[in-house]
Structure 1
Amino acid sequence: MLVSFSLCKQTTSLLQKPPGELKSNFFRPRLEKEMVVIIMGATGTGKSRLSIDLATRFPAEIINSDKIKAYAGLDITTNKIPEEERYGISRQRILLTWLHIAMDSILAGGRVPIIVGGSNSYIEALVDDEDFQFRSRYECCFLCVHVAMPVLHQYVSERVDKMVEMGMVDEESHCIGVPGFDRYFRAEPYLDKQQRGKLLQEAIQEIKRNTCKLACRQLEKIHRLRNKKNWKTHIVDATEVFGRRGKDADEAWKKLVAGHSTEIVAEFLYNFSPQTLVSGH
């Protein structure tokens, strides 16, 4: 079940303002093109979390463009959002060939598609198609969640360790063809405990290196889309969030990432800007 609100109540909630503080005539949706929100960013920056935040603030539905998250049985490996943290935003679809069908269905229901995921090649192929059909029909709001690379690399390393603690090795042992621990699984039956431990640590370190390389490639691709193809992209800097822990990190996320992104999307969808706030009229 999707979370949706009436327009005035929804917008008041998303900006955390008391009822009556916003004039309803500010919220006049643009009618020229269909509206689409696209969230990009390197692996580990919190794209999925942001998509959930936005989908609980707007009448929206998420389309997942990250192909690996479609695999069943790899919830830990692919860092899927737990069911209890999805707030009812459960419909995630994938594959470029089905994206247009998914978007038509979402739009027909009066909702906004939020496309999110690490597969920037999918997103580029969708948006910059050969016959320019996508650009002619849709107006896009591009959000890029950014984390400074040294901070992100440290986080990725810690995240891999946490995944291992949660059972990633056992999860991958039941899947065929998933890279990461292939060498370890092949050699494990023929090694003693010490050898297995050493090979396992080598595999974990290799995964960390490969994940950091992936993050760099993803960031380079986003820079190319912005600088070479002139995609107008809103950079949402989450670096400070990743330097904090616990409640401090959550509060920083709400303000710097979710809050800032909500303002951008509200202005995109409804021509609304925080400067249009009025008091009690």
Structure 2
Amino acid sequence: MAMMSMLIGTQTHPSVHIRATSLGLPLPNSRTTSKPKEKVVFVMGATGTGKTKLSVDLATRFNGEIISSDKMQVYEGLDIAANKITEEEMNDVPHYLIGILPSHADFTHADFCYMVNDKMDDIVARRRLPIIAGCSNSYIKALIEDEIYGFRSKYECCYLWVDVSMSVLCQVLSHRVDQMVEKGLVEEGRKMFKPNADYSKGVLRTIGGRELDHYFRVEASADDETRARLLKEALDEMRINSCKLARRQVEKILALKNDNGWNIHRLDATNVFPKRGKKSSKAWEELVLRPSMEIINQFLNN
């Protein structure tokens, strides 16, 4: 799959500030009005809820650019398993932090926070709206809550949460596994497979890596019936683990809302997914897109 990999440039670190008095410079007037904060929109939600679609929809309407907050999509490889956005789906909207690291590299909370701050400076300097979209909520929490990055002092945040009832979402995720298989999930995984692979590091942590491991180990020596059974078991495990992941992601969002006091706007997209074609598009516009636009319009003009 052809992917747009946008490099972020030199990673920056907190600079050392020299006191004005040590240089003989006058101190700034303490009553001087502080510079207004720049605006940033976060699109949050569990895997499979439509965050990618909403972020692109909003970026095209509000002159935005998108920074991915998905810790698996930052790596090269496993594009299908990680459900990376395609160039067509990007709709000419610039995307960052997708496919920029080698598959085996370490990528920490600190790496994410420094990269985001660096890219944010570039986006707002060009008077574009930064939209941070993804489901790695622990990374987002570190960015906002850790004072070392100074994010809250520079930016005013608007949080949108695309939510889908878990019973419907698990069905969506199950169907998505079938779609991934049709796109070449198994072939993609086979190319990445190594007998001594470490599934605790890099892109191999993506759901689909560990689950398909046993199948790849025995497929060459197994008969057709055994291969079919093992593949079905691997895909069923992917479905189960995807649903478990979605539950954990929702729990983290609720914790940010209830325990950390984030003003998160919930958008219920449950009734979008059972519909098809034009009915689905209409439901998306009425239940998700239009309310999101109203929230952002009020946020930007406040």
| CA-atom RMSD in angstroms | 1.4
Alignment identity in percent?
A: 51
Q: Which residue of 1 aligns with 2:138?
A: 121
In structure 1, distance between residues paired with 2:40 and 2:135: 17
Q: Which segments of structure 1 move beyond 4 Å, counting only runs of 4 or more?
A: none
Q: Which residue of 1 aligns with 2:94?
A: 90
Q: Which runs of 5+ in 2 are unaligned?
A: 1-34, 99-111, 198-203
- Contact residue 113 and residue 149 of structure 2 kept, 8 A: no
Q: Which residue of 2 aligns with 1:102?
A: 119
Q: Which residue of 1 aligns with 2:172?
A: 155
Q: Is 1:266 matched up with 2:297?
A: yes
Q: Provide the aligned length of Structure 1 versus Structure 2.
A: 241
- Pairwise CA distance, 1:84: 1.6
Aligned positions of 1:157-236 closer than 5 A: 157-176=174-193, 177=197, 178=204, 179=209, 180-236=211-267
In structure 1, distance between residues paired with 2:146 and 2:253: 17
- Contact residue 93 and residue 102 of structure 1 kept, 8 A: no
What is the DSSP-based 3-state SS (H/G/I as helix, E as strand, rest coil) of the residue aligned with 1:66? coil
- Pairwise CA distance, 1:263: 1.1
Which moved further from structure 2: 209-218 or 258-267? 258-267
Once the two structures are superposed, residues 227-262 of structure 1 have per-residue CA deviations (whole angstroms, 9 ceiling, x without a partner) of 000000000110010121122111111221111111
Query: Which of 49, 55, 58 in structure 1 is aligned with 2:59?
Result: 55
Q: Which amino acid aligns with 1:100?
A: N
What is the DSSP-based 3-state SS (H/G/I as helix, E as strand, rest coil) of the residue aligned with 1:61? strand
Q: Which amino acid aligns with 1:214?
A: L
Q: Which runs of 5+ in 1 are unaligned?
A: 1-30, 272-281
In structure 2, distance between residues paired with 1:76 and 1:254: 27
TM-score when normalising by structure 2 = 0.77
Once the two structures are superposed, residues 92-143 of structure 1 have per-residue CA deviations (whole angstroms, 9 ceiling, x without a partner) of 2263331100000001111111001111111000010134721122110000
- Contact residue 38 and residue 115 of structure 1 kept, 8 A: yes
Q: Which residue of 1 aligns with 2:150?
A: 133
Q: Which residue of 2 aligns with 1:33?
A: 37
What is the DSSP-based 3-state SS (H/G/I as helix, E as strand, rest coil) of the residue aligned with 2:161? strand
Higher relative contact order (CA 8 A, sep 6+): 1
Aligned positions of 1:66-85 closer than 5 A: 66-85=70-89
- Pairwise CA distance, 1:77: 1.4
What is the DSSP-based 3-state SS (H/G/I as helix, E as strand, rest coil) of the residue aligned with 2:226? helix
In structure 1, distance between residues paired with 2:244 and 2:95: 30
Q: Which amino acid aligns with 1:171?
A: E
Q: Which amino acid aligns with 1:245?
A: R
Q: Which residue of 2 aligns with 1:241?
A: 272
What is the DSSP-based 3-state SS (H/G/I as helix, E as strand, rest coil) of the residue aligned with 1:189? coil
Q: Which amino acid aligns with 1:207?
A: M
In structure 2, distance between residues paired with 1:241 and 1:181: 31
In structure 2, distance between residues paired with 1:120 and 1:195: 39
Q: Which residue of 2 aligns with 1:26?
A: none
Q: Which amino acid aligns with 1:227?
A: N
In structure 1, distance between residues paired with 2:94 and 2:269: 25
What is the DSSP-based 3-state SS (H/G/I as helix, E as strand, rest coil) of the residue aligned with 2:83? coil
- Pairwise CA distance, 1:217: 0.2
- Pairwise CA distance, 1:81: 2.4
In structure 2, distance between residues paired with 1:270 and 1:253: 24
Which moved further from structure 2: 114-123 or 170-179? 170-179
In structure 2, distance between residues paired with 1:161 and 1:171: 14
